[in-house]
Amino acid sequence: MVKVSIKELSMRYEKKYILEDLVLDIHNGELLVILGESGCGKSTLLKIIAGIIEPEKGTIFFNDADITHQTPQKRNIGYVPQAQVLFPHMSVEQNIKFGLEARKLPKDDVAAKLKWIADLIQIEDLLGRYPREISGGQKQRVALARSMAIEPDVLLLDEPLSSIDASGRESLALSIRRIQKQTETTAIYVTHSSEEARLISDRVAIMYDGKIQQIGKIIDIDLHPMNYLVAKIMGTSNVWPVLYVNENNQGTNISVPIGDVQLQRKLNKKITGIRINPSSFVITDSSVKPDKKIVFQGIVKSIMESDEKTLRVIVDVKDTDSEYIKVDCMKDDLKKELKANTELTLVVDSKEVVLF
Amino acid sequence: MFANIRRKASSKDAILNRFIIALAIVLLLSFLLAFFYIPIIRIFEYSFSSETENIGLILKEIITDKVNLYALGFTFLQAFASTIICLILGLPAGYFLAKYDFKGKKLLINLLTVPFVLPPIVVLAGFLVTYGNSGWVNTIWQSVTNSTTPLISIFGTIEGVVLAHVFYNISVIIRLTIPAWESVDYDQVEVSRTLGASKYRIFRKIIRPQIMNSVIAASLLVFIYTFNSFAIVLKLANPTYKTIEVLIYRSVQVSHDYTQASFLALLQLILNSIVIILYIFFDRKSRQIAEGKESNLKTDRFQFRNQEWRKIVRNLGVIFFLMLIGLFTFLPILAVIIRSFIPDKAGNSVFYGYQEFFSNKVVSVLNANPLTLLGNTLWIATISTLITLILSLLIVFILRSRYQSIRRYKTSKTESLISYLIILPMATSSITLATGVYLQYRGSAIFDSAVWVFIIVSHVIISVPFATRTILAAYNRIDVELMNVASTLGASRSRVFRKIVFPMIYKGIIVGGLFSFAISLGEFGATYFLARDEFKTLSIGIYDSISSQTLQIPLAMASLLIIITLLCFYAIHKLGEIELKV
């Protein structure tokens, strides 16, 4: 088991910084998901850890050894790239054996490890086939087997699910998770999908602007996103950026794309966004404005049944540029039936507004 | 994207790699310097220096000389006419071949490319038999119409030259535009149709912008090939018409006016460079347009049952057109082989030509032993191919070993320098090259005793761009991530090359080798320029004897060249694709 520390890593691509003084620590045996939008530099970071690209500045430690300038050959890592890159002229078996043979292991050991990994990843029946004869999901399993066969200190996965069918994604993600835990391999998993992060991560690191912005357990980041961008990358429902803040004698008025939100208190910190839980809204049809509540007018766009008791309603907010609010409501609480394209009023208590 | 990245020089692997690259660069540059750049500098030197007279006056005389101006005009005119006719015939043929699916389509496309790799002298022989004054076409025409005037006159006319050039280059247009037709976004066509655009409007607004760059690039290639044509013009049009190439040749070998020859060679070099630069520009643009697009052209089959009459007529028209193109392409080749079995005079056997060929004695019309010529041709081609492959691999190796990290991920200076250094030989015609070599090395001991060295060198320089393109195309198909993965799995550079790169490019290497073998086999211009009586190849032998009374002998030799070329071509067809582009 290995812990990885990255210190002040910088990298430029044609004068623009893609990584800037990036700091990141990955614990022994954990699966860390690096979550960020396309082009944020997360693949470059992975390639630097793999030794494929040399950074401009900064250091990388595996345990306490500085490996910044070591070749990929010596790092003992497993690397699964985004596209399904198996060696096309080799059978599945030869693909898996490639790394073992490069290490000049005795034949018996190679055979034993092949059997072990094929068994673990459940691809015994594919060994004799060629990459062109197997499906996308199977290819990615083989790529995983190939990288795990050498028993790497660190496993690096670059959007491993992005090039395969939606149906195979979840099962492959769970396989990755199972094998990583079973072998207790430290793993770094790069993706832009918050769903994948929710599915398999021990911890998540949110990356943009060439830096890791926030790192922690999914649930903590969901509850306390550092700012609006983090919340957006996490794919949280009902988050809006703050446009401007006005202090007045009732408290604070915050302007967000869905309208103005009046809070009954003063703010003591700078805020970038707000979140309102979908279940915090109450649907009414009265036009009387209740005291100390925030009111939104909108048109019902769609109504879906989340489960037997709850409905998920999407409301297009009036007088905005197609801003939507997601509302969860109990069927029993509804005073009359909701219909698409009808007007309604949403009320929310100002205490329910989460600021970050 | 990030294949080979700069590492600390502390790694042994990296030091070795740098050493190999440095060695490769030195080898490549010394070859180019000795056999290309120094000869080209020699041409400059001859152009602008004269021992006796004022050089300005001499140059002015050359420029204003009527013969020269006339030749320049003719060179442009015939190249332009050939290109236009190639386009008129080749564009629809390319479209039909992209649009219609039928059995043997791939083979037909490949066979249409045969003329391109055929030795020019064989093409000449084929034309003589097919379209000559007493050739097949004229004989049939005269017996049908009962007239005495021939239908086509290929000697001393511009038609002859243009016809031969179209025959030679139509495949370039067809082959290079098929992918363009295939990569047109036909969804856009469908959308425009639903928007009510007329067929003409769709073509003008949707299709034309998408294929234009490919068409221009292919046309520029045809233009440059015909602009540099030597053998065809020398035999068919000379002395009535001359191209610059023929004029350079005559200035050196007939009138020994080296100043004029050099100056014309320089002019040729400059004009060629301009066209090549334009070509590279449009080729890049066409690739940018086609990049990442999958073909969504819906192919058609030739169907006749239960079709409306218009569609039947159209299908028949397309089939007829493709058959005509096929006939035009294969007739001269077949003619050579068939005519080699027809005795010239009574009493000669059907196999007379082949008997003489394999008799292992000096044949009087050749003034040489034909088997020796065959031997010369084959070993020259073999050695040229080997050297070509080594140089091409070195170029590919240097170009792909980008020793830099992402922060300097721009084209490295070495890379762009080498790209330019190999573009210039591409822009040099075989006669310009031969003139430079001749001026630089004539009188040297090797030139006098072993002129074949220089023939090989010219063949190498002529075929390196083609072989490099073919190998590079194979190399570029390898996903860099494959190499990245292999190195993270612990494979050393040499292991990555042996286990990953080589297995994926060896077919490209063989195809590039076969291609340069075929080029060397039939190369005429530089060989004819440099070769002397004591050392000839088959091409020169055919040229020398084709005007004689016994056509069977040269045609037997030409048939042999056709067969060897076809064998090469068959192997290429089985293994992969050649790059007609340079």
Domains in chain B with CATH codes: 57-185+211-339 (1.10.3720.10)
Q: Give the pLDDT band of residue A259 (cuts 50, 70, 90).
A: confident
Amino acid at B21: I
Q: What is the model's pLDDT at position B3?
A: 37
Amino acid at A94: Q
Q: What is the model's pLDDT at position B403?
A: 38
**Distance in angstroms (rounded) separating the CA atoms of residues A174 and A76:** 24
Residue A87: C-alpha distances to residues A73, A294, B195, B246, B497 (Å): 17, 60, 46, 52, 13
| Interface contact flag, A102 B492, Cβ < 8 Å | yes
| Interface contact flag, A98 B2, Cβ < 8 Å | no
In this predicted structure, which of A156-160, B300-304, B510-514 has the lowest mean pLDDT? Answer: B300-304
Burial of B140 (0-12, 13-18, 19+ CB in 10 A): exposed
**Distance in angstroms (rounded) separating the CA atoms of residues B454 and B36:** 11
Q: Residue B377: what are its φ and ψ, rounded to 5°?
A: -55, -45
Long-range contact set of residues B491-497: C-beta below 8 Å, sequence gap at least 24: B491/A73, B491/A98, B491/A99, B491/A102, B492/A73, B492/A102, B492/B13, B493/B13, B493/B16, B493/B17, B495/A102
- Interface of chain B toward chain A, CB-CB under 8 angstroms: 2, 5-8, 10-11, 13-14, 405-407, 409-410, 479, 481-482, 484-492, 495, 499-500, 503-504
Per the structure block, which two tokens stand in for B307?
């079709």
Q: What is the model's pLDDT at position B148?
A: 80
- CB atoms near residue A222 (< 10 Å): 18
CA atoms within 13 A on the CB side of B131: 23
Parallel, antiparallel or unpaired: strands B300-301 and B100-101: parallel
Per-residue pLDDT reduced to its tens digit, B120-135: 889 989 998 999 888 8
Q: Residue A4: what are its φ and ψ, rounded to 5°?
A: -115, 130
- Report chain A residues whose CB lies below 8 A from the CB of B474: none
Domains of chain A in sequence order: 4-233 (3.40.50.300), 240-355 (2.40.50.100)
Mean pLDDT of chain B: 83
Q: What is residue A132's DSSP assignment? A: G
Residue carrying structure tokens 């042999």: B560
Q: Is the pLDDT of residue B331 over 80?
A: yes
A23-32, A160-169, B23-32, B265-274: which is most confident: A23-32
Per-residue pLDDT reduced to its tens digit, B428-458: 888 999 999 998 998 888 888 888 999 999 9
Q: Is the pLDDT of residue B333 over 60?
A: yes
Report the candidate in A222, A236, A339, A334 with the shortest Cα–Cα distance to residue A278. A236
Q: Is the pLDDT of residue B222 over 80?
A: yes
- CB atoms near residue B156 (< 10 Å): 13
Nearest chain B alpha carbon to A71: B7
Per-residue pLDDT reduced to its tens digit, A27-84: 999 999 999 988 888 888 999 999 888 888 899 999 989 998 888 888 899 999 887 7
Q: Give the pLDDT band of residue B8 (cuts 50, 70, 90).
A: very low
Q: Is the pLDDT of residue A182 over 80?
A: yes
Q: Is the pLDDT of residue B409 over 50?
A: no
Q: What is the model's pLDDT at position A82?
A: 83
| Region B381-396 average pLDDT | 93
Within its chain, how far is the Cα of A129 from the centroid?
A: 33
Q: What is the model's pLDDT at position B78?
A: 93
Q: What is the model's pLDDT at position B51?
A: 61
Residue A156: C-alpha distances to residues A54, A62, A191 (Å): 16, 13, 11
Q: Is the pLDDT of residue A5 over 80?
A: yes
Between B110 and B3, residue with greater pLDDT: B110
**Distance in angstroms (rounded) separating the CA atoms of residues B521 and B371:** 15
| Interface contact flag, B485 A85, Cβ < 8 Å | yes
Q: What is the model's pLDDT at position A97?
A: 93
- Please give the share of chain A, as a percent, with pLDDT higher than 70: 98
Q: What is the model's pLDDT at position A155?
A: 95
Contact A273, A304 (CB under 8 A): no
Parallel, antiparallel or unpaired: strands A4-13 and A77-80: unpaired
| Interface contact flag, B485 A47, Cβ < 8 Å | no
Q: Is the pLDDT of residue B303 over 80?
A: no
Q: Is the pLDDT of residue B1 over 50?
A: no
**Distance in angstroms (rounded) separating the CA atoms of residues B465 and B424:** 10
Which of the residues A85, A96, A114, A154 would you substitute to probe the B interface, choosing the one with the greatest number of B C-beta atoms within 10 Å? A85
- Report chain B residues whose CB lies below 8 A from the CB of A13: 406-407, 409
Between A110 and B52, residue with greater pLDDT: A110
| Region A313-320 average pLDDT | 87
Q: What is the model's pLDDT at position B175?
A: 87
| Region A319-342 average pLDDT | 83
- Partner residues linked to A212 by β-bridges: A207
Q: Is the pLDDT of residue B301 over 90?
A: no
Q: Give the pLDDT band of residue B99 (cuts 50, 70, 90).
A: confident
Contact B515, B388 (CB under 8 A): no
- Report chain B residues whose CB lies below 8 A from the CB of A54: 5-7, 405
Q: What sign results for the dihedral spanned by CA atoms B511, B515, B520, B522?
A: positive
Burial of A132 (0-12, 13-18, 19+ CB in 10 A): exposed
Within its chain, how far is the Cα of A84 from the centroid?
A: 20
Q: What is the model's pLDDT at position A286?
A: 64
Which of the residues A98, A117, A146, A155 would you substitute to probe the B interface, choosing the one with the greatest number of B C-beta atoms within 10 Å? A98
| Interface contact flag, A69 B491, Cβ < 8 Å | no
| Region B226-243 average pLDDT | 87
- Interface of chain A toward chain B, CB-CB under 8 angstroms: 11-14, 44, 47, 50-54, 56, 69, 71-79, 81-83, 85, 87-89, 98-99, 102-103, 143, 146-147, 150
